Structures are given as structure tokens and as C-alpha cells.
Structure 1
Amino acid sequence: MVRILPMPSFLRPSISSFTFAAASRLPHSLTSYTPTRSLPSFPFGFAVPQAQFFGLNSSKLLKKCNNTMRVTVNGYAAQACTTASPENILEWVKKDKRRLLHVVYRVGDLERTIKFYTECLGMKLLRKRDIPEERYTNAFLGYGPEEAHFVIELTYNYGVDKYDIGTGFGHFGVAVEDVSRTVELIKAKGGKVTREPGPVKGGNTVIAFIEDPDGYKFELLERGPTPEPLCQVMLRVGDLDRSIKFYEKAFGMELLRKRDNPEYKYTIAMLGYGPEDKNAVLELTYNYGVTDYEKGNGYAQIAIGTDDVYRTAEAIKLFGGKIIREPGPLPGINTKITACLDPDGWKTVFVDNIDFLKELE
């Protein structure tokens, strides 16, 4: 079974779970709060006195500015110029307090999946939420509380019992102290083992692969006690160097390691916000000669915390990402988010750290 270590108090404050509600009917769980009337900080040190917001001709302002930021004060919308350089944006991204919050995907039988994850993988059911008016149910599972751990958010849409996982999604990684014993438990519970325990190709780490009831793959990695057993999300990309550059600059991730396996014709890169033995990481895989993948409709997104969704969106745009939800508060909820696609079309949602903590409260 997985051993959980207490999280040190100096770790970044985390943010509770969030999923952007769109046509896919992904849920949004955010408690409302009353925003203050103080003026927002403009990205990268630019500020405008309060008196200047009233009576501004935004159309004229837009003509004069290359970079703009919309603000609202007492119901009046205005545009203000920003003069941030790419260097300033990159420096801010590196200092932003970011952490992988959760990964979202859809399943066909929620109770069956919860049973498998808790009994076979040793996860805990952290919370569950049913939204009958939107015809979906969520379940949050992991190895510790959401404010300090990377967790899974499962989505069950009423009446949908099967999803296409596609060829782009790879697997989730779970660190365990004894892979062989975990595999035996999974077999005893009726789980499907697709790769028996043994050393990874080209390395010494003992691994195994299993599938959950919906066909999502999990890689079991033999590792000593770790504060973050849910340790990886693997996605396939068509240009690894392009993806590494994007995640380093736009997302502020660190390239932790890169390994080429010419014998098996693939290269992997591990990126994240801290050492992979203590934090969840993103594993990107490039298969030689493959530039495009089918994403299916099962896997949804990763959520990441940020101190400022506006600055985050500017960085994403600057470094080649596509914003699919402009930064700002969700209607009726006030938690600020922004959503984007990376160069391969993988979706990520950034959530305001303070707003997210308010939701947990």
C-alpha cells in the first residue's frame, strides 16, 4: 500500500479543485465571495490612478496600445496600456506560485471507478458532488487533502457509459513501495495488468502497467516513501523541443530530465514545479515521426494554480499558446480563471490561488 508522508508547512499554498464548465459539461465547483472595490494591479508593474478610469474612451485607447488590459471599476469598463517586455513576463512566470492541482477526465461508471481506485490503488475519496440540473457528478480522489496534493477529478455525465480515450493520452503514474505486491492486489480485485512488474526498458526502475475499468492506463513505479504518490500525467506530443520551450516559458515549468531511447524510437521529457520524487510532474513523450494524435473525449485537462490569471494569459499568448477562455471571474462565482491550449491542443486551466483557497473554506 502507498505510504503517505506529512506535507511540510513551507510548501506552496494550494488551491481547491476547479473545472471549467463548457459544452462538454465539465463542472465548476467554486463558492462565491464578495470582491473588494480596490483597483486591480496591472500586469508587470503598470498602474493607473483611479480618477483616470472614469470617462476613458476605450476605443481611442485601443488604437494607441499594442497590449491592453480590461479593468472594471464600479461597473465602468476601461482599457489601459501595458508595456511589459517578454523578459519581464518570463521573469514573472518564474516567480509565480504555481502547483499542479488536479487532473480531470470522464468515466462511465463513477461508483465502479471509485471502488477500483480506493481498493486497488489505495486512494481516498476526498469529496463527491452531484449536480442534477446539469446532469453530472464529480468525485475527487487522491492520497491527501486537495490543499496540499495533486488529485484526480472524475466526471460522470448522466447516461454516458463509455468514452474514447484516443491515442494522445498516455497514462497516469502512481508511486508505490512494492510494485509486485500492488500488482497481486490488483489482480485479486479483478484489475487488468497489461505489463507485469519488471525493470523499465533501458533503466533499473521497477514498473508495471494496469488499466482501470474505463481503460485509462496507470504506470506503477517502485519508489521509496513520497509525499506525492499520484506523481505523473503522460501526454504525447508531436514536437518535443517545441513543447519543452512552451511549458518552460509560458507555464514556468522546469525541465527536470530528458531521455532519448533510439532503440525504441521515442524520447521523453519530465517537467514540473519541483523534484519528481516529491511533486507531480508532466511527462511528455515524442514517438519518432509521429506529429499528431487523436485526443478522444475522455481525458479533459490539468488545472494549475497561479497568483494572477491575467498575467498568466499574457504569458501564454506571448509564448505560443491559445487562450480559449479569457481571464476573469466566472459569472456568479467570482473565482478568476483562464483556460488555454498548448501547441498540441492539450487543455490547461489556471485558477487564482486566493480564490481557490476561498472555495476550500
Structure 2
Amino acid sequence: MASTTDTKNYKLNHTMIRVKDPQESVKFYNFLGLSLLKKLSFPDAKFDLYFLGYDAPGAVSHGKNLFDREGLIELTHNYGTENDPNYKINNGNVEPYRGFGHTCISVDNIQAACKRIEDAGYKFQKKLTDGKMKHIAFALDPDGYWVEVIGRKPLEETEGVKETDVGSYRMNHTMIRVKDAEKSLKFYEEVMGMSLFRTHEAKEAGFNLYFLGYPGEQGPAVEGANTADREGLLELTWNYGTEKDEAFSYHDGNKGPQGFGHICVSVDNLEKACERLEGLEVNWKKRLTDGRMKNVAFVLDPDGYWVEVVQNERFTGQANF
């Protein structure tokens, strides 16, 4: 194991969302090309975890240990929800519980990819033909979470292409809304060690988007470069003026009604990383020493979103669970 900690070794490992029926959810994400990499069962606590990620031969994280990857989705299933007619997930996009926005996959040929999803009977929040933005779509998973679909090539280059290869897809980013862009950027850059890869200003619409990530296998990105071919990015959405409203806050997904749970960063040396975070005076949700699970910690970002911190298994040579 590394004797110190270096944020260049960190990875945005996964995004956790709660699901009502794991069979339906796994089926959907399998259809999008993700593989079930690991299932962890905790029958005493009455929940299961399903870790899914892109693992085709050409995938960025192909063949790696679970926590040595980027862009995974962790599905959390609490036993019995699938049989409860009153159980409903908060997808993060409905007032007054907005906060988490979506996950996003980048694909080879966006028209063909969207047609394939539609032909399989899955619904869309926004089709390519809806609205002004003709180059992005939002599919809906079985719980109503939004999954953005973007193309890695310009739209005109894929016009009329009928084939799509799910083995080439990437889990590109996770979007969360933030109240104060300055505070959130400071946290994710200075505290969590991410780099700002791209900024998109939509002044007329009154919002900015910030794409952050770690160098990972693909190396550092140049500010302003196309990030569609990467995996494991974090997108912060800032709507102008929210930072001036003292009463304004986003829903973290962990208070009722629940949905999104957390993002997770894997690190080279878990104890040293937590010591570093302690020195930066972070707000803790759970320290390593708290509770039964001594191999995970949770810090809180400026909006109260949970950020899990776990050991990257590549540095220890043994599985975390």
C-alpha cells in the first residue's frame, strides 16, 4: 500500500442510487451495456448492493478490481420494496426534492442508440427530437431516474447510421445541482483533489455546468477539451442566484423521500486519505472509526451530498468486501 496519499491516484468510482426492483433495474442497465461486476448481500441489515460497469474488452476499466474503476453504478435494494405498492423512488428532478440530476452514458451513434432503447420499450424524459437541443436525450430507468445519452461524434457524422455497439459505451458522468458554485468547486478541487475539465456557461438560460474528474487511465484533460470519451466525471449544475438565497437548499437524496445516495471516491491509502481530510476540516457523515464498517468513510460536500471514501484494491492487493 502507498505510505502516503496522492489525489492523482484517486478515482470517482461509483454513484449509488436506490432501486425498487433490482431485477428490473439490472435488466435495464445490462441493456445499456453495463455488466454486473459484483453483488454484495447484507441479509442481517436487509439490503443488497449491485455494482455495474462497462467491462467490454475496449472499456477503459476493463478487467480491473471493483474499486480500481471509474464510472460504476451501485444499485441499493432494501428488501421488500419490490412488493410495496406505495414505495416510490425520488429521482431528484421533482420539486421540492430536487438535487441529484442524472447519470450519463456516451455512445458511438446517438440516433441508433436512442432508437434501440425506444424499440426495447423504455421511456424517455426527452427524445432527441424534443426541444431545442437535438444532440442529447434522456432515457428513463425503471424507477424514473434520468439517464442522459450523448454522442462522442458530431451529430452530422452519425446521421443515418443504423448500428450501435454497446461495448463502446462509457458511463461518462453524474450530475448534481449545487447551490454555490464557488464553494462546491473549491471543495471538489481542493479537498477531493479533482481537476476542472470543462466549463459550459449558458448565460441566457441562467446556469453553468462544471465537469470535474481525476486523471485516471486517460490522463489529465485539457480545459475546454471534449470530455465525451471519458468515464467517471462529475457534473455540477449551478443555477444563477441560488447562492444568494439563504433559505434555498437542495435535497441530498438520503432524507425522505430517498433516491440517490452518494458518489464514491476510491483512494490509494484510506487511512492517510482520511487523515488528510481531517486536516482540511471536512464535515464528516461517518469517520472510519464510526459504526461497524471500518473500511468506509463518508464526508459531506457543501450541499450536504454524501461522498464515500474507500480503498482502491489495486494498492492493497486484496478485496474490500
CA positional deviation for 1:158: 1.2
Distance in structure 2 (CA, Å) of the matches to 1:290 and 1:266: 10
C-alpha distance 257-105 of structure 1, shift in aligned 2 (>3 A): same
Contact kept, 8 Å, 1:143 with 1:149, in 2: the verdict is no
Distance in structure 2 (CA, Å) of the matches to 1:122 and 1:176: 10
- How many residue pairs align between the two structures? 268
Structure 2 equivalent of residue 197 of structure 1: 128
Task: Kindly indicate whether residue 139 of structure 2 is the aligned counterpart of residue 180 of structure 1.
Answer: no
CA positional deviation for 1:281: 0.5
CA positional deviation for 1:151: 1.2
Structure 2 equivalent of residue 359 of structure 1: 319
Task: Give a deviation string over 1:248-303, Cα, whole Å, max 9, x none.
Answer: 11001001111211111111111110333333110000012234212331101111
Structure 1 equivalent of residue 28 of structure 2: 116
Structure 1 equivalent of residue 231 of structure 2: 279
Distance in structure 2 (CA, Å) of the matches to 1:285 and 1:317: 27
1:300-315 to 2 correspondence within 5 Å? 300-315=261-276
Q: Structure 2 regions of 5+ residues with no counterpart? A: 56-62, 82-86, 92-96, 154-164, 216-220, 222-226, 244-248
Distance in structure 2 (CA, Å) of the matches to 1:261 and 1:217: 21
C-alpha distance 129-326 of structure 1, shift in aligned 2 (>3 A): closer
Q: Larger C-alpha radius of gyration, 1 or 2? A: 1
Deviates more, 1:189-198 or 1:142-151: 142-151
Distance in structure 2 (CA, Å) of the matches to 1:159 and 1:293: 28
Structure 2 equivalent of residue 153 of structure 1: 74
Contact kept, 8 Å, 1:93 with 1:251, in 2: the verdict is no
Structure 1 equivalent of residue 173 of structure 2: 232
Q: Secondary structure of the residue that 1:180 maps to in structure 2?
A: helix
TM-score, length of structure 1 as denominator length: 0.66
Task: Report the aligned-residue RMSD.
Answer: 3.0
TM-score, length of structure 2 as denominator length: 0.74
Distance in structure 2 (CA, Å) of the matches to 1:286 and 1:308: 32
Distance in structure 1 (CA, Å) of the matches to 2:33 and 2:101: 21
Q: Secondary structure of the residue that 2:27 maps to in structure 1?
A: helix
Contact kept, 8 Å, 1:249 with 1:319, in 2: the verdict is no
Distance in structure 2 (CA, Å) of the matches to 1:214 and 1:105: 10
Task: Kindly indicate whether residue 63 of structure 2 is the aligned counterpart of residue 132 of structure 1.
Answer: no
C-alpha distance 357-189 of structure 1, shift in aligned 2 (>3 A): farther
Contact kept, 8 Å, 1:227 with 1:278, in 2: the verdict is no
Structure 2 equivalent of residue 215 of structure 1: 144
Q: Structure 1 regions of 5+ residues with no counterpart? A: 1-12, 14-39, 44-91
- Paired AA for residue 119 in structure 2: A
Identity value in percent: 32
